[in-house]
Amino acid sequence: MKARQRAVCMIAYTNYAIDARVRREAETLASNGFRVCCLTNRNQGTAARYVINGVEVHELGVPKYRGKSTVAYILSYVRFLAAAALACLGRLVKGDIDVVHVHNLPDFLVFAALLPRLAGKKVVLDIHDSVPETFATKFSGNAGLHKALCLEERVSASVAHKVICVNHPQRDVLVARGIPAEKTFVSMNVPDPRVFQSPDAPHSPNGHFNLVYHGTMAERLGVDLVIRAVAQLRARIPCLTLHLWGGGDDLPAFQRLAAELGVEDRVSFKPKGFPLEELPGRLRTMDLGVVGNRTNVATDLMLPVKLLEYVALGIPAVVPRLRTIDHYFSDDMVCYFEPEDVASLADAIHRLYSQPSVRRRQADVAATFLDQHGWDHQGRELVALYNRLVEN
């Protein structure tokens, strides 16, 4: 008799179609013998069901909140938690769950898996961003809130059989806060090699020196610092064009800043960004990638996805010297600048602009990161983890 295909129910407060990490993990499991359904937000006008690369996506009737109201965010999370818990219960009744894989933010979405957990099913909590650090950037100095969020983290982790961390420094922090080390598993946010492949030949120049940042338009990620650096470089690099691909709450402020600094002609905004499948081709036309993250307890634990995508595509990168980036990347792999120092950032961009051979060498050396940490290796480890979970 043929063995029943193991069923995985993923839960993620996200837009599945453009969430590289959720898709990469779900599609890797689906291509290795698991039947995967991902419960997500309603991202169109009406809730929908569809299949992408073997993964069934079920959009629940809860839209993703976009705004700056903390109360509204929490209410949206709670509504999504309730909808996901109900959907999980339905699958449990049908005998259609073996593992529930919950992606944060927030951690407490793992309680959608509580009934399957009590019924003996396995639960995985995937911590993309550490909640205490993330909220500390918004409510600095609130010791009571920080303690409450650390408690929320530990309680949420207690529901899970495994806690996935995005890098080793983040895991060290979680373990120091009381999560058992043996419960943790590192699955880094590296690009999917099926999508992000280094080109066989460099792109054709278009007369511009193309600088790119793609992702969320947020002040905490230093996008305004990059715009200010471009203003400083206006005379030093006459052909410089900054490409900003993505949306976010601070996008209007960045557009106003570019106008105030007189660099509207040097900054090209693409608020909708590009679909995941189209993004690598667009990035390959760029000369230099930039990460502008400010210094805080949250960014200190980040290994930016955009940086790893630049590395995978052979694009040299300018990055702030922050803890986790510095943990993985040496000075001959990236060009560092002092965090939140616009002059230092501008100098780093100009240094690579004026030294094409250094750009090429850094991109080549940075590629060795993926030899050790690429998804070919980590995907196999994730599948092995799942096989151990379901065998037990």
pLDDT surpasses 70 at 77: yes
Backbone region of residue 263 per phi and psi (left: phi > 0; alpha: psi in -120 to 50; beta: other values): alpha
Complete DSSP assignment for 320-336: E--HHHHHH--TTTSEE
> Is residue 21 within 8 Å of 129, Cβ to Cβ?
no
pLDDT surpasses 80 at 142: no
| Banded model confidence at residue 134, pLDDT cuts 50, 70, 90 | confident
- Report the alpha-carbon distance of residue 146 to residue 133 in Å, rounded: 8
Rounded (10°) angle between helices 342-353 and 223-232: 60
- Under DSSP, is residue 57 helix (H, G, I), strand (E, B) or coil? strand
- Report the alpha-carbon distance of residue 144 to residue 279 in Å, rounded: 42
Query: How does the average pLDDT of the chain come out, rounded?
Result: 92
CATH superfamily of 7-190+374-391: Glycogen Phosphorylase B; (3.40.50.2000)
Average pLDDT of span 37-63: 89
Complete DSSP assignment for 144-170: HHHHHHHHHHHHHHHH-SEEEESSHHH
pLDDT surpasses 70 at 338: yes
Cis upstream peptide for 106 (omega within 30°):
yes
The overall longest dimension of the chain from CA atoms, in Å, is: 73
Q: Would you state the structure tokens that stand for residue 269, as one six-digit string?
A: 């905004």
The pLDDT of residue 45: 66
Helical residues (DSSP H) of 210-270, grouped into ranges: 223-232, 251-260
- Report the alpha-carbon distance of residue 184 to residue 173 in Å, rounded: 11
The pLDDT of residue 186: 96
Cis upstream peptide for 283 (omega within 30°):
no
The pLDDT of residue 348: 98
- Report the alpha-carbon distance of residue 38 to residue 225 in Å, rounded: 36
**What are the residue ranges spanned by the domains of the chain?**
7-190+374-391, 209-372
Span 189-221, pLDDT tens digits: 999 888 887 665 455 456 789 999 999 999 999
209-372 shares the fold of 7-190+374-391:
yes
CATH code of the domain occupying 209-372 = 3.40.50.2000
Span 80-124, pLDDT tens digits: 999 999 999 999 999 999 999 999 989 999 999 999 999 999 999
> Is residue 292 within 8 Å of 225, Cβ to Cβ?
yes
Span 154-199, pLDDT tens digits: 999 999 999 999 999 999 999 999 999 999 999 999 998 888 876 6
Residue from 367, 321, 45, 323 nearest 167 by CA = 323
Higher local confidence (pLDDT), 262 or 43? 262
How far is C-alpha 56 from the chain's CA centre?
A: 21
Output the CA–CA distances (angstroms, integers) from residue 88 to 29, 108, 280, in the order listed.
19, 15, 35
